[in-house]
Structure 1
């Protein structure tokens, strides 16, 4: 099966419709939200600081995510980073390695989109054990920073281009 990460605006009309049907398990909704909210934040008020991507498996969307840059960065992010949001793997496709595949392709897509960024960052709820394992297993580094999020305590993770020391950012 061939996978590739594609910018939302490059999807065909059929692929956009398929992407809008991505669903996560109900227990994941507090952590990543749903596709309606993700697409609303991408499309309702377009901004050069927000970019949507779909992971295609044999040309069918199986996952979706948002990347953000200034002026849309959250308070916890470094101004030289892009942040990952609304990362969703369709519940019917979970357990097949698509989350890991997406995270492996993401750094290349991010640097092609915004060559000036020095890192990727994300915030993950400490109770979201599956997501923490996925991110850490894919090479993201826990920055050691935590803060009170909307659901629980959040940990800030980084992916540094060139695999330098994340504390240098």
Structure 2
């Protein structure tokens, strides 16, 4: 199966509808939100500091994520980074490596969108064991800082980028 991470604006009409239908398991909603909120963030007040990406598996969207860069960074992020938000793998597609595929393709996509960024950052709930394991296993580094988030305490993870 071929996968590729593509910018939301490059999707065709059918793929755009398919992205809108992505759903996660109810217990994952506090961590990643839902597609309605993610697409609302992307589309209602468009900004050059927010980009959406869909992971296509054989040209069918199976996952979605948002990236933010200045001036849209959250308070905890470094000014020279882009931050990952709303990573959602469709519940029917989970466990097939699509989250990992998103994260592996993310550095190139981020640098193509914003060549000036130096790192990727994310914030993850300390109780989200599966996500922590995935991120750390792919080379993200726990910065050792925690803060009170929406659900519980969040850890900041980062990954440096090499210019293309």
The interval holding the TM-score normalised by the smaller chain is: over 0.9
Match of 1:156 in 2: 156
Match of 2:2 in 1: 2
Match of 2:135 in 1: 135
> 1:123-154 deviations in whole A, cap 9, x for unaligned?
00001111111111111111111100010000
Which ranges of structure 1 fall in alignment gaps of 5 or more residues?
A: 163-169
Match of 2:16 in 1: 16
2:89 aligned with 1:93, yes or no? Answer: no
Deviation at 1:161, TM superposition (A): 1.3
> 1:32-90 deviations in whole A, cap 9, x for unaligned?
00000000000000000000000000000000000001111000000000000000000
* TM-score, normalisation: structure 2: 0.98
In structure 2, distance between residues paired with 1:136 and 1:88: 18
* TM-score, normalisation: structure 1: 0.95
In structure 2, distance between residues paired with 1:22 and 1:139: 27
Please give the residue correspondences for 1:26-105 in structure 2 after superposition, counting only pairs within 5 Å.
Answer: 26-105=26-105
Tell me the secondary structure at the aligned position of residue 94 of structure 2: coil
2:113 aligned with 1:113, yes or no? Answer: yes
In structure 1, distance between residues paired with 2:102 and 2:143: 21
In structure 2, distance between residues paired with 1:75 and 1:28: 23
Tell me the secondary structure at the aligned position of residue 106 of structure 1: helix
Deviation at 1:110, TM superposition (A): 0.3
In structure 2, distance between residues paired with 1:4 and 1:161: 19
Which ranges of structure 2 fall in alignment gaps of 5 or more residues?
A: none
Runs of 4+ in 1 over 6 A off after TM superposition: none
In structure 2, distance between residues paired with 1:51 and 1:102: 14
Tell me the secondary structure at the aligned position of residue 92 of structure 1: helix
Tell me the secondary structure at the aligned position of residue 104 of structure 2: helix
